[in-house]
Amino acid sequence: MSIDTLKLRSVRIDTYHENVAYLNRECSIYRAEGFQALSKILVSANGSTLLAVLNVVDDDSIVLPGELGLSQQTFEHLHLDEGTLAKVNHAEPPKSMDAVRRKINGENLNQGDFTDICNDIAETRYSKMELAAFLVASGQNNLDRSELLFLTRAMLQTGEQLNWHEPLVADKHCIGGIPGNRTSMLVVPIVAAHGMLIPKTSSRAITSPSGTADTMEILSNVNLTPEQMLEIVREQRGCLAWGGTAKLAPVDDLLISVERPLGIDSQGQMVASILSKKLAAGSTHLIVDIPVGPTAKVRHMRQALALRKLFEFVGDRLNIHLEVMITDGRQPIGFGIGPALEARDVLKVMNNDPDAPADLRQKSLQLAGRIIEFDPDVRGGQGYAIARDILESGRACAKMNSIIKAQGEKAIDLEPGKLNYQVCADRDGVVTQIDNFQTAKIARMAGAPMEKKAGVDLLKKMGDKVSKGEPLYQIHAEFQADFLFAKKLAQQNSGYSLGDNEQILKPLTAF
């Protein structure tokens, strides 16, 4: 073994998206190369290379001098055995950081610049700091719409792309921020029952109390291999899978992993993120749902319109048939917030239960109707009626059952979390506002989405009359600590505003 090779060793530390390498301080290479903790190093073994952040170890039980420890995901990523010989070198900063620095200096970048940046990001050559620098430099109004097109194209091209070999592959996407908004679980079976291809992949919750994948997981398996998904979609015309396993637009995931903790999200990044993912998934026709309301992501109609234009500009140039629906985002959709509670709402709508939440049903039918009208054989204006017919006839329910069976049925348990607390009205009046952020935060504190049965169950919605002391909503939790946190938060700010009838905010979409 030459002086400059090390034996690979798996260190059972989970460092998530960040590659970490561990070198013993007594290791001769560490000393010779003048590495420093946190410096980035290039690891090469058996023809593979990766970049990792260096941690220096003073404990021989973690790594010995002569060994190169790698954190779990990093080690697995290499697909090599422990003991394989590896080399380490100083990592050069990614070349495309020059372009990022030009952007910081206010220059416009071209397609080649964005392609280089996305290639380097996809090859995990960017540290979290470098990703943050790129995001801030290209955030807000710093990208013009041509640059946004270049970025979207580059994000699309740096990952795999699915091809369904059909002329019409439908999809829908909501920009998010509205708790309980589980329309996909109704839209997919309706549209698939109509015969259109709708291979829907969804995310799990990151900052919300539940994502469509979390809620669908109450009913069926959602972790499908690409092969399973292909087969299910071929048979059922649709699926409701978790999108995390596919390698579609991987740059998007890496950017989001920095954007979220920083709490920065620009409209441009949102458009690039959504369209690159949808195009990579092989979608040809897409409905984008933009909810507008005082506690939604988009608060003003003019913002929604500007965002629509951005979606249209980029979508048209990347050859996707895209329509934007601006919807009512003044309050959560449905009653339940949290995986099991939301699944209950979905099933009620699916079963045409008279207690089903009307807003969830209505919005799902509108979205499904718009998608069905992508079908050239459907007359303009007929989509909604077709969707309603599919739902009311039980065909949507039958299709959903087939999809659930195909993905892997689960023993359904919709019983909400056993600890519960009612938040009550402090006056007589009418519900004038329900805060999307606050109700989502309370549901999350209660344990959603990790605890499937935890969350918030809304008993009153906007416009409902309430008497003093009457319950507005109920918190469900599984664990005492979560329960107390959520209760405390609800006591500080319930998220409900009560007033007189005329104080109800008009839907912004009506302006």
Selected from 79, 141, 319, 411, the binder of a second copy by CB under 8 A is 141
Selected from 306, 358, 385, 481, the binder of a second copy by CB under 8 A is 481
Q: What are phi and psi of 195, to 5 degrees?
A: 105, 0
Burial class (CB within 10 angstroms; exposed 0-12, middle 13-18, buried 19+) of 466: buried
Q: How far is residue 439 from each of residues 65, 254, 473, 481, measured CA to CA in Å?
A: 52, 28, 10, 18
Q: Is 34 in the site for a second copy (CB under 8 A)?
A: yes
Task: Locate all alpha helices (DSSP H) within 263-300, ordered by sequence.
Answer: 267-280
Distant-in-sequence, close-in-space partners of 86: CB < 8 Å, separation ≥ 6: 5, 6, 7, 8, 43, 44, 45, 68
Selected from 5, 44, 62, 395, the binder of a second copy by CB under 8 A is 62
Selected from 6, 109, 122, 131, the binder of a second copy by CB under 8 A is 131
Selected from 7, 77, 87, 128, the binder of a second copy by CB under 8 A is 128
User: Which of 71, 75, 66, 73 lies closest to 54, judged by CA?
Assistant: 71
Selected from 43, 50, 71, 241, the binder of a second copy by CB under 8 A is 71
Q: Is 488 in the site for a second copy (CB under 8 A)?
A: no
Q: Is 57 in the site for a second copy (CB under 8 A)?
A: yes
The DSSP call for residue 108 is P
One of 171, 265, 289, 457 is an active-site residue; which one? 265
Angle at which helices 111-122 and 250-262 cross, to 10°: 80
Q: What distance lies between CA 378 and its chain's CA centroid?
A: 32
- Shortest CB 7 distance to a second copy, Å: 18
Neighbouring C-beta atoms of residue 256, cutoff 10 Å: 17
- Shortest CB 281 distance to a second copy, Å: 25
* 31-39, 117-125, 196-204, 317-325 -> range binding a second copy (CB under 8 A): 31-39
Q: Is 61 in the site for a second copy (CB under 8 A)?
A: yes
Q: Is 132 in the site for a second copy (CB under 8 A)?
A: yes
Q: Is 97 in the site for a second copy (CB under 8 A)?
A: yes
Distant-in-sequence, close-in-space partners of 72: CB < 8 Å, separation ≥ 6: 10, 11, 12, 13, 14, 15
The DSSP call for residue 93 is P
Q: Would residue 59 show up in a list of annotated catalytic residues for this protein?
A: no
- Shortest CB 384 distance to a second copy, Å: 39
* Residues 53/73, Cβ–Cβ less than 8 Å: no
Q: Which is nearer to a second copy, 133 or 222 (CB)?
A: 133
Cα–Cα distance measured from residue 307 to residue 265, given in angstroms and rounded to the nearest whole number: 13
- Shortest CB 76 distance to a second copy, Å: 12
Site string for a second copy, 9-28 (x = CB under 8 A): --xxxxxxxx-x-x--x---
CA torsion sign, 406 to 409 to 414 to 417? negative
Q: Which is nearer to a second copy, 72 or 146 (CB)?
A: 72
- Shortest CB 304 distance to a second copy, Å: 18
* Residues 8/81, Cβ–Cβ less than 8 Å: yes
- Shortest CB 91 distance to a second copy, Å: 10
- Give the DSSP per-residue string, 386-436: HHHHHHHTTHHHHHHHHHHHHH-B-----PPPSEEEEEE-SSSEEEEEE-H
Tokens of 388: 């309603």
- Shortest CB 493 distance to a second copy, Å: 16
Site string for a second copy, 236-275 (x = CB under 8 A): ----------------------x--xxxx-----------
- Shortest CB 450 distance to a second copy, Å: 4
Q: Is 337 in the site for a second copy (CB under 8 A)?
A: no
Q: Which is nearer to a second copy, 145 or 395 (CB)?
A: 145
Q: Is 163 in the site for a second copy (CB under 8 A)?
A: no
Site string for a second copy, 102-121 (x = CB under 8 A): --xxx---------------
Q: Which is nearer to a second copy, 400 or 477 (CB)?
A: 477
Sheet holding 496-499, edge to edge: 465-466, 429-434, 496-499
- Shortest CB 487 distance to a second copy, Å: 16
Q: Is 88 in the site for a second copy (CB under 8 A)?
A: no
Q: Look at the block and give the residue holding tokens 């995310």.
A: 203
Cα–Cα distance measured from residue 373 to residue 360, given in angstroms and rounded to the nearest whole number: 20
* Residues 415/452, Cβ–Cβ less than 8 Å: no
* Residues 344/412, Cβ–Cβ less than 8 Å: no
Q: Which is nearer to a second copy, 61 or 319 (CB)?
A: 61
Q: How far is residue 195 from each of residues 156, 228, 405, measured CA to CA in Å?
A: 28, 20, 18
- Shortest CB 151 distance to a second copy, Å: 17
166-205 positions binding a second copy, by CB under 8 A: none
Selected from 86, 117, 137, 341, the binder of a second copy by CB under 8 A is 137
Cα–Cα distance measured from residue 422 to residue 493, given in angstroms and rounded to the nearest whole number: 14
Selected from 124, 127, 210, 284, the binder of a second copy by CB under 8 A is 127
410-469 positions binding a second copy, by CB under 8 A: 447, 450
373-380: long-range pairs with CB below 8 Å, 24+ = 374/168, 374/170, 374/196, 374/285, 374/321, 375/168, 375/194, 375/196
Active site residues: 265
* Binding residues vs a second copy (CB under 8 A): 4, 11-18, 20, 22, 25, 32-34, 36-40, 55-59, 61-62, 71-72, 93, 97, 101, 104-106, 127-133, 135-137, 139-141, 258, 261-264, 447, 450, 479, 481-482
